[in-house]
Amino acid sequence: MILNQLGIFGWKEADENLVLASLLTGDPLLLIGNHGCAKTHAGNKVAQALGRKFLVYDASKAMFEDVLGYPNVEKLKHGVVEYVPSPVTIWDKELVLIDELNRAVPELQSKWLEIIRSRKIMGFPTQVKWVWAAINPISYSATQALDNALIGRFAIFLYPPDVLQMEEGDRIKVATHINGDDAPSLSEWTGGESAGTVAKADVDGIGIQLRETLVKAGGYFLQLRSQMPTLAEFLAKFADLLVRETGGEVALDGRRLGYIHRNLLANRAVELAKAQISDAALPDFVESARYVVQSSIPIGLNDQSLKRDEAIHKTEICFDLLSSYFEEGAELSETNLIYELFATPDLMRKAELLLTRNLGEMACSKAWTDLVDGKRDITLLAYVALQVEARRPGTIPQELMASLSTKIDAEKLCTRCVGSLVDDAVEYVEEVEQLLEQESDLGKLVAYQHVSCLVKSRTLDLESIEATRRNIERDLHLFEELLTNQPRNEKGGIAA
C-alpha cells in the first residue's frame, strides 16, 4: 500500500483507494477520528510525495485574516482590492488540511465554505486543488456541531483507525515510526543523521508511484464514465429507495448524488490502475461500490445515538437490494424491477413481481416482510400468495407463512364486506348482484373487494358498474396467471 510506505499504518486499502479517488477528482475529503490517528500526518505525507505546497490550518484558532491576508492599503487608494500574502495565506497553497473544523465556532466554520467548494476566497481564485479537513467525534468536549451546508461540501467521509483498532504488526510499526514532528532534537546528537523513519528520497520515490497510479486512474475514469452511462439512473433509484426506507431521514440532494457518482467512478478507476501496475487481483465491484456509497453519505456526524446506526443499516439494505447492478454482466433491467417492487403503490403489480419474477432472496424476503408489517389491507394478495405457495412451495419465505396468514381478514371473504345500497343506488341491485356471481372462490373474493370499493365510492351508475366488471375480469385473469405460471427471471424467461 502507498500510505503504508509513507509511514501511515493500519489503514484499510479501501480507505487508501478513496484517498486516491479524492486526489483524482479533487472533491473534498473529511477525516473523522480521535486525536493521534494520523489525520494531519496523512495529508502532510501525501502532499510531500506529490511535491505540492501544503499547509495545515487550525480552524479553532485561525482568524480569517490569517487565511486571506490583510488588504493592501496602497492598492485600495486606487480602488483595487488586493491582499498582502504571507507564509500562512492560502493563495499559493495546493493541498490544504483544515484541522479541528468542528472546534471552530459556527461563524468561523462558515468562512471555509467557499474554499472547500470553490477553492476561492471572496470570489478570488486560489491555487488550491485539494481540500481536506479533519474533525474529532462529536463526543469530544469543546466540539461544535457542523453546519449541514458545511457537511454537504465534502464528498468522502473516512474514519482513520486508532492504534488499538489495528493489527499487531501495524501497532508495532506505529510504535517505532518517527515522522517529521517526532524527536525534533535527536539529529543534534547523532551527527546530523536524519531521525525520520521514511527518508525524503523514499518519499520522492513513492511520489513517482503515486503519480503513475493517478495518471492511469485518470484514463480509466474516462473509460468508466463512457462504459457506465446508466450509473446515474442506478443512483436515482437508490436515492428514492433510501428516502422511502428511512422515512425522509436520509435524503440525498443533487450535489450528493454527483459526489457519489464521481466517487464510484474514481474509486473503481484507482482499483483498475493499481491492479494494472501491481498485477494484483481486482477487488469485487459490488463490495467496493458498497463501501464507496457508505463513505459518501454523511450520516450522523453530529449524532452518536443508536438512531445513526439504524440509518446506516437502512442505507446498506437499500444498496444491497440494488447491488446486482455492479455484478459482471448485469443489466439495469433487474435493478429496475427490484426498484419497482418497492416503489410501486399498486398491490397488483407487487403481487405480479413477487409471484412471477425471481428477484433474489433478499428482495423477496424484505418485500413480503414490508407487506406483512404494513397497515394496508392485503387480504386478496395474501390469499392468492398462499394459493400459489400450495402449488409452488418455496414461493413465499417459510418464516413469513404464519404472519401472512394472519393478514387475511375473514370479513373480506364474504358479502358482509360489500356494504348496503342506499337511496338511488338501490335501483342497481341486480347489476351489483351479477358482479358478485362468480364460479370460483377466488373470483368471489376479487368481486367482493371491487364491489366493496364501488359501494363505498357513492358513485354508483351503469358506467361505474361496467368499469368494476372490467376490473374484476382483469384482476381475476392476472391472479389465475399467477397461480399457473412459473417464476420468470429479469429477462422474462423461466427462472432456473
The helix/strand count (H/E) of the chain reads as 22, 9
Residue 254 confidence (pLDDT): 95
Domain match, 140 and 226 both: yes
Domain match, 424 and 284 both: no
Q: Is residue 60 part of a domain?
A: yes
Q: Which of 286, 310, 334 represents a domain boundary (last residue)?
A: 310
Q: Is residue 79 part of a domain?
A: yes
Domain match, 158 and 276 both: yes
DSSP H or E stretch at residue 132: strand 130-135
Cβ(112)–Cβ(101) below 8 Å: yes
Decide which of 58 and 261 is more confident. Answer: 261
Looking up cell 459482471 gives 328
Angle at 60 between CA 56 and CA 63, to 5 degrees: 80
Q: Which amino acid is at 393?
A: P
Q: What is the pLDDT of residues 375-413, one digit of tens each?
A: 888 888 888 888 888 888 888 888 888 888 888 877 777
Q: Is residue 367 part of a domain?
A: no
Which residues lie below 8 Å from residue 194, measured CB to CB, with a gap of 6+?
A: 187, 200
**Separation CA 357–CA 259 (nearest Å):** 33
The count of domains in the chain is: 2
Q: Which of 310, 330, 351 represents a domain boundary (last residue)?
A: 310
- Calculate the alpha carbon distances from 67 to 55, 136, 463 in Å: 10, 22, 74
Query: Residue 490: which pLDDT band, with cuts at 50, 70 and 90?
Result: very low
116: CATH: 3.40.50.300
Q: Is residue 401 part of a domain?
A: yes
Q: What is the pLDDT of residues 325-348, one digit of tens each?
A: 999 887 888 899 999 999 999 888
Q: Is residue 329 part of a domain?
A: no
User: Per mean pLDDT, which of 246-255, 375-384, 418-427 is the most reliable?
Assistant: 246-255
Domain match, 474 and 395 both: yes
pLDDT higher than threshold 50 for residue 271: yes
Dihedral of the CA atoms 244, 247, 248, 252 (nearest 10)?
Answer: -40
In percent, the amount of the chain with pLDDT more than 90 equals 42
Over range 468-483, report the average pLDDT: 83
Domain match, 69 and 213 both: yes
Q: Is residue 54 part of a domain?
A: yes
Domain match, 270 and 386 both: no
Q: Domain limits at 296?
A: 2-310
Q: Is residue 324 part of a domain?
A: no
Residue 194 confidence (pLDDT): 60
pLDDT higher than threshold 70 for residue 74: yes
Residue 496 confidence (pLDDT): 38
**Separation CA 194–CA 267 (nearest Å):** 36
Q: Is residue 277 part of a domain?
A: yes
Q: What share of the chain is helix, strand, coil (3-state, %, to 5)?
A: 60, 5, 35
Q: Which of 81-85, 164-168, 229-233, 422-426 has the lowest mean pLDDT?
A: 422-426
Over range 29-34, report the average pLDDT: 93
Domain match, 303 and 388 both: no
Query: Residue 73: which pLDDT band, with cuts at 50, 70 and 90?
Result: confident
Over range 158-175, report the average pLDDT: 90
**Chain centre distance of CA 388:** 36
* Selection from 369, 405, 365 nearest residue 385 by Cα: 405
pLDDT higher than threshold 70 for residue 458: yes
DSSP H or E stretch at residue 317: helix 306-322
Residue 388 confidence (pLDDT): 82
Over range 303-321, report the average pLDDT: 87
